[in-house]
Chain A
Amino acid sequence: MPDLDRPDDDLLRGLAARDLTALGTLYDRYNRPMFALAYRILGDGQSAEDVVQDAFLAAWRGVETFRRDRGTVRNWLLSITHHRAVDILRRRTAFHPATLEVAESRPSDADTFVEADRNVVGKAVRDALATLPAAQRTTIELAYFGGYTQSELSDLLGIPLGTVKGRMRIGMLKLRRALEAMR
């Protein structure tokens, strides 16, 4: 079977057997979404590349930590990328913007939305996010992409902690329904 056609599960078995070809194929398949996510969170290419490298090495070394019942290989790699990027963001001294305006001015994809339309799944998720009221969407995006804890969001947005949690809860519920409707 050509490497490009190898299923993800087979590639993971390759990683477990220390097969670099399998890692190369996995890289070719997922490096772009992983880099895009890290770049979206960190805002600079060098740090984002470091995170992607780190994430692939974590997968290479810890392939046995993949849990099929927790999602796909793509989800797993993106999850590792997300957590490592956020941890780096939090480790940077004084990374927290003082104002909401600054926080929301982080890199976005507004400049590449035309290209985005080629990606049906991506568009569906963006549409689902777009259906959320601005307050809920902002809270979720600042948490996920901005690396803010709920307490930090309470300070940043000037709202009670309970309101932050409420916005997340309702926003996630609506997002779930929107995603299910798009299946």
Chain B
Amino acid sequence: MTLTHDQAHDLLEGYALWSLDERERAAVDRHLAECERCRETARDLEYVAAAIPESVVDRAPSARLRERVLAAAAGDARAPRRRFALPLRPAWMVSLVLLASALVSGGVAVRSQLELARVQAERDELWTVALNVSEGARWWYMAGVASFEGSEGTLIDAKRSGEAYVLFHDLKPIGADQRYAIWLIRPDGGWVRAANFTPSGGAVQRVGVPLSVSEFVQCAVTIETRDSGAPQGTLAMESRVFGQ
């Protein structure tokens, strides 16, 4: 969705009030990146919108919340920080992946050709990831939640090719009228739909992300019944916030 200057300008009040759908919002974001006049107008409107919550009377949460917030942050502080890079040196990662691949391949000698092909495909994907990582790719891990526990996805932002994609493992089957939606989340909390897809049934599935992920801080996967619109379905996976 591409907007002319007038179309973008017409949406700025809705933009400031967080009252656009995701496609409109993404289109306005793109326009703002190029238009100083609209950026200035948007800043003025956001100043007005920022005053609106001041009209709400303060209300205290439960006393337990302070402990919850600090405990979560403390746990977070203890966890290894993943700032746009692997905790392992890339060369080690490649070696580990190769070793894992060799072990996997070695163990399948007696399996069927079909199974062998599946493992080969998985190994190829792992090899691609390892190469991307060794070339400085950034990555973010998503774990399945609730009934999607066991599923995993890793968003890879490949440096050399400029291509981003998610490598999924063990996706759960979904209904015929449903699809998985990949979401990228901005620092201000806005969700942008990056891709829709249905599970292939394989152990590993690669899904392209046709957006620049650099301006986002988190990613998630939901189950949706529509190809567009705001997220409304069940949350299946979510990453931690990027940039730690």
Binding site for B on A (CB under 8 A): 18, 20, 23-24, 27-28, 31-33, 35-37, 39-40, 45, 48-49, 52-53, 56-58, 60-62, 64-65, 69-71, 75, 78-84, 86-87, 90-93, 109, 112-113, 115-116, 119, 121-122, 124-126, 128-129, 140, 143-144, 147-151, 153, 165, 168-169, 172, 175-176, 179
Contacts and interface: CB of A to CB of B under 8 A. Distances in A.
Interface of B: 10-11, 13-14, 16-21, 24, 43-62, 65-66, 68-70, 72-74, 76-77, 187-191, 217, 222, 230-233, 235, 240-244
B19 A93 contact: no
Nearest to A37: B53
Contacts of A91: 222, 230-233, 235
A109 B46 contact: no
A17 to B, nearest CB: 10
Contacts of A169: 13
Nearest to A81: B53
Contacts of B188: 65, 79-80, 83
B62 A49 contact: yes
Contacts of A93: 232-233
Given A90-B230, A124-B54, 11 more contacts: A45-B62, A70-B46, A87-B189, A87-B191, A91-B222, A115-B57, A119-B57, A143-B19, A165-B13, A168-B17, A172-B17
Contacts, number: 195
Nearest 5 Cβ contacts at the A-B interface: A83-B189, A65-B187, A143-B19, A36-B59, A32-B58
Contacts of A52: 61, 65, 69
Contacts of B241: 57-58, 61-62
B77 A18 contact: yes
A82 B46 CA distance: 13
